[in-house]
Amino acid sequence: MNILEKTFNDIRRMKVRGAGRIARFAVKALEEYCLTLDFSSKEDFVRKLEEAGEYLKGSRPTAVSLPNAINYVINNFKREAYNLEGEGSLKDSFKRWCEDFIEKSSNAVKNIGLIGSKRIRDGDVLLTHCNSEAALSIILTAHEQNKNIKVYCTETRPKFQGLISASILSQNGVDVTLIVDSAVRYFMNRVDQVIVGADAIAANGAIVNKIGTSLIALAAKEARSRFMVAAESYKISPQTFFGDLITIEERPKYEIVSKDWLSKNMNVKVSNPSFDITPAEYVDAIVTEVGIFPPQGIFILYKEMYGFSFKDVLQ
């Protein structure tokens, strides 16, 4: 199995998971792949990288961090490669863009922690769902600032990523309570703020995150608890500006029930969507590495970063 197949499988089987991590993992794999590539011309090198990128994008469909990261390194490299010749300089250039993405993406998580932690008050009770590096960065930064916080972590069925969050927080000395997903409303009256990550942010400010997030947002709104999303800016989905919908991954039914149970209950249909969509009106703030935005203002951030304008599209 080559590096691309191994990376594809590791992402598909969730050995590496979480939107930011899979983006960096795929970019690292492309970097390693490029160093082993034999090619006949610059065009051939670019074509092989593009094919490898397209292949890796297919490993999981929902987190737009994955295609955005791959497009970032390949497009930047292509612009630079225009003026480059020779195997060494082409490979060096691509490697640099991969390292640039990995560094920027890791720094973004740290900055989200610094910016988002300003919104955490001493004594706050927080709730988080699934396992998001960006969300944990805010919580851990607030804890490092000696704010006295308590955190509820949901189990996050069926894959139990909430246990990873609970374990990380507890190892860092945070006061953590693990709860089952269906206990969220029961505890919500005690929660000041919910903090979750995102796999994608749509043009209208809707958030795509782990299944159950939208139900938690609904409970938070009803209980008047604040709902904060922590997400790097490269999780904004450019395609949604042009009307495309974000694909929600359907995971294997055996993540929910055993093969044995299913064989005894052949007429029971099992559905296992991995993500859901939280409408913008349930979100108080999106914390990115460059600042805090209301969800409806996410277009401004996108325009600022990528210079996109409606005029360009309509002409």
- Catalytic machinery residues: 130, 199
Nearest approach, Cβ of residue 305 and ligand RUB (Å): 18
Stretch that binds ligand RUB, among 11-19, 97-105, 116-124, 142-150 (CB under 6 A): 11-19
Chain residues 45-104 in contact with ligand RUB, contact rule CB under 6 A: 63
Query: In the β-sheet with 226-230, what is the strand arrangement from edge to edge?
Result: 175-179, 150-154, 125-128, 193-196, 226-230, 285-288, 291-293
Interface residue with ligand RUB, options 130, 153, 191, 229 (CB under 6 A): 130
Interface residue with ligand RUB, options 4, 19, 108, 285 (CB under 6 A): 19
The answer to the question of residue 132 lying near ligand RUB (CB under 6 A) is: yes
Whose Cβ is closer to ligand RUB: residue 34's or residue 153's? 153
The answer to the question of residue 284 lying near ligand RUB (CB under 6 A) is: no
Chain residues 184-203 in contact with ligand RUB, contact rule CB under 6 A: 197-199
Whose Cβ is closer to ligand RUB: residue 7's or residue 93's? 7
Whose Cβ is closer to ligand RUB: residue 19's or residue 90's? 19
Whose Cβ is closer to ligand RUB: residue 84's or residue 215's? 215
Which of 303, 264, 106, 283 is CA-nearest to residue 196?
A: 283
Chain residues 213-272 in contact with ligand RUB, contact rule CB under 6 A: none
Stretch that binds ligand RUB, among 127-135, 185-193, 236-244, 299-307 (CB under 6 A): 127-135
User: CA gyration radius for the chain?
Assistant: 21
The answer to the question of residue 209 lying near ligand RUB (CB under 6 A) is: yes
Whose Cβ is closer to ligand RUB: residue 168's or residue 203's? 168
Whose Cβ is closer to ligand RUB: residue 128's or residue 225's? 128
Nearest-CB residue to ligand RUB? 197
Interface residue with ligand RUB, options 4, 7, 8, 18 (CB under 6 A): 18
Total site size for ligand RUB, rule CB under 6 A: 17
Nearest approach, Cβ of residue 134 and ligand RUB (Å): 4
Cα gap 258→312, rounded to integer Å = 52
Q: Which residues bind ligand RUB (CB under 6 A)?
A: 17-21, 63, 130, 132-134, 161, 197-199, 209-210, 274
